[in-house]
Structure 1
Amino acid sequence: MPTWVSIVVLGALAIALLGPIPAILERASWPSREPRAALVLWQAVGLAGGVSVLGVAIATALAPLGDTPWDAAMTWLATVWSGDLTGGLETFHLILLGMAMAITFRLAGVMPVTIWRTWTARRRHRDLVGLVSRPWPATRPGHGHVLEHPAAAVYCLPGGVGRDAPRVVFTTGALSALDDDELAAVLAHEHAHLVERHDLVALPFFAWVTALPWFPGVRRARSSVATLLEMVADDRAATQVSPATLASALARIGTAAAGRAATPVGAIAVDGGGVLQRVRRLLCPPDRSRRWRVSAYLLAAGLIVAPFLAITTIH
């Protein structure tokens, strides 16, 4: 049977990646210095956490069938294929396998559902924007739209081509609150989101929250990733406009945010996360750290490899 070491390792990884590690990473100060590296690490935490959760569930259920979880899974599949629908398992392990399969289908099923809901909500809002807004000539043709609303808000709707082309939406309140340089700064910020497709980076974390809402680590991941994506967009925009101007625009939009409705589903707002922290970061840029950057990438690689090694080689 698979050694208890594989199950213990996978269980320990699952617990750590759903609890303490996200808490430690959320409180760390270095991600603001290297937001791209921190994003890669968060992605590794999410992937390794998911594999570990599924791995420990399936390894425990198939424990009698092989020397490693992988061998046990291959044996079970071969037995089922030969006509034994129990796969050679007794009732207790069949119950465990059913629970493991339920977890697997939930995690695997949430992603396409989340993608579909986000895509349809974004398309619906994009169509509404096209109906009730007017073009803003300061942006690329078809990209900029102005909505009549007193609250200051700026957000983008990622997309592809044609009907689904991306949009950058400004309210009349934002046009009144920001000067020309500040408008150019927030436009550069939103274009950074669109060019780098930050919506695709954030999507798995929203799916995880839907699938496992009771784990604090999953909620921490979504919040932290949202803030880091804003920092990455800030950094890209700051290569085109004055960081101080962007900070001023963020402060104005962030101040007005308290009195307005939430950002539409599927949109990315300029004040989407950690506004005060981002303003401070733009005004006093932190020193970049090659040590933290390299360490984050190495740790991310290790986290991704670890559960697969536990599944295939530990016995």
Structure 2
Amino acid sequence: MIAPAIFLGMLAVVLVLPAAHWLASARWTVREPRAALVLWQALGLSSGLAAVGAVLMLGLSPLGSTVAEAASAWLAAIARGDLTAGLGPVHLLLVCLAVVLFSRLVGVLLLSLWRTARTRRRHREVVDLVGTPYERDRSATVLDHPHAAAYCLPGVRGRVVLTQGVMHLLDDAELDAVLAHEHAHLSERHDLVVLPFAAWTAALPWLPPVRAAGGAVGRLVEMVADDRACFGCERHVLAAALARLGSAARGSAPAGALGVAEAAVLDRVHRLLAPPRRTPWRRRTAYLAAAGMVALAMILPWVSLPL
């Protein structure tokens, strides 16, 4: 089990360091943002599985050539009353390290999910209390606030929130484009796409590529929402709305919300006015690479490779 553990460890290092850095700085992602998001998700999942799997396999290596054999041997030892299954201190320490690493990654994700859900619930309660329904779209709520802002609060009962400031800033066509953008966030549950990377950054804040991942994913979800919004509005109308909001908005959207003018506004305006040529071969390559990474991280612990 040493050989697949070494391969898994190398895979984790490659994914967390050079691969994440390359993907965060890649220029092709503006052409295929949805495929790039899938690749980011696969990279995050595969790197976590590979890191935990490599450490666990090294710890269990004396018990068998695969994780299945090692687990079977340990259960048999437990049945005989030997809780350590004959593992030495170093191997037991590696097993404990794998458990701690897995617990940290999952624990930070669950904690981030709970905190974000709590923040959104409180914000929705305030919005429902002080806001009024938007007469042209009853699913949106208007807040009596002079600053221009438009954002959504994802969840089971998602909200699109507009302020009086943005109502005065944009015309009806631009408001419709902004609403289409925010509804795209809600329908595609982009909050669930962004959340794991925020948790990943919280779990591994000392790694620059991990920190860069959150910003890259945030920009990509905005591009995906822009593209979907353009199915029902003109690209130049959404571009104008973004430009106005980008220059007038003060600060960022509230915690737990997704704002229409949050990320790389100038780049998104340029992309809307001069759409990049789509590249199907890059899209297919990204999907294949994503599937390959996840499959490799999941299969290696269950195979025996010669060293």
C-alpha separation in 2, matches of 1:215 and 1:65 = 33
Report the alpha carbon displacement of residue 66 of structure 1 after superposing the two structures with TM.
Answer: 1.2
C-alpha separation in 2, matches of 1:224 and 1:81 = 49
Partner of 1:202: 194
The answer to whether the Cα contact below 8 Å between 1:54 and 1:100 also exists between their aligned partners in 2 is yes
Partner of 1:180: 172
- Aligned: 1:299 with 2:289: yes
1:124-203 alignment, distance < 5 Å: 124-139=122-137, 141=138, 143-160=139-156, 165-203=157-195
Partner of 1:75: 73
- Aligned: 1:59 with 2:36: no
C-alpha separation in 2, matches of 1:77 and 1:209 = 36
C-alpha separation in 1, matches of 2:143 and 2:134 = 10
The answer to whether the Cα contact below 8 Å between 1:6 and 1:69 also exists between their aligned partners in 2 is no
- Deviations 1:86-121 (CA, angstroms, capped at 9, x unpaired): 132111211222222111111122222222111111
Report the alpha carbon displacement of residue 81 of structure 1 after superposing the two structures with TM.
Answer: 4.4
Q: Secondary structure at the match of 1:170?
A: strand
- Aligned: 1:265 with 2:255: yes
- Deviations 1:261-284 (CA, angstroms, capped at 9, x unpaired): x32222110012221111111000
Structure 1 pair 68/51, CA: closer, same or farther in 2 (3 Å)?
same
The answer to whether the Cα contact below 8 Å between 1:14 and 1:49 also exists between their aligned partners in 2 is yes
Counterpart among 121, 124, 144 of residue 123 in structure 1:
121
Structure 1 pair 16/70, CA: closer, same or farther in 2 (3 Å)?
farther
Report the alpha carbon displacement of residue 232 of structure 1 after superposing the two structures with TM.
Answer: 0.8
Structure 1 pair 77/212, CA: closer, same or farther in 2 (3 Å)?
farther
Partner of 1:255: 247
RMSD: 1.5
The answer to whether the Cα contact below 8 Å between 1:23 and 1:220 also exists between their aligned partners in 2 is yes
C-alpha separation in 1, matches of 2:146 and 2:85 = 64
- Deviations 1:247-303 (CA, angstroms, capped at 9, x unpaired): 11111111223x33x322221100122211111110000111111011001111111
Identity of aligned residues (%): 50
The answer to whether the Cα contact below 8 Å between 1:177 and 1:252 also exists between their aligned partners in 2 is yes
C-alpha separation in 2, matches of 1:70 and 1:34 = 39
Q: Secondary structure at the match of 1:62?
A: helix
TM-score computed with the length of structure 1 as normaliser: 0.92
1:237-248 alignment, distance < 5 Å: 237-248=229-240
Report the alpha carbon displacement of residue 146 of structure 1 after superposing the two structures with TM.
Answer: 1.5
The answer to whether the Cα contact below 8 Å between 1:17 and 1:49 also exists between their aligned partners in 2 is yes
Q: Tell me whether 266-275 or 185-194 shows the greater mean CA deviation.
A: 266-275
Q: Secondary structure at the match of 2:142?
A: strand
Q: List runs of 5+ in structure 2 lacking aligned partners.
A: none
Counterpart among 267, 280, 293 of residue 277 in structure 1:
267
Q: List runs of 5+ in structure 1 lacking aligned partners.
A: none
Report the alpha carbon displacement of residue 33 of structure 1 after superposing the two structures with TM.
Answer: 0.7
Aligned length: 305
Counterpart among 89, 92, 113 of residue 91 in structure 1:
89
Q: Secondary structure at the match of 1:239?
A: coil
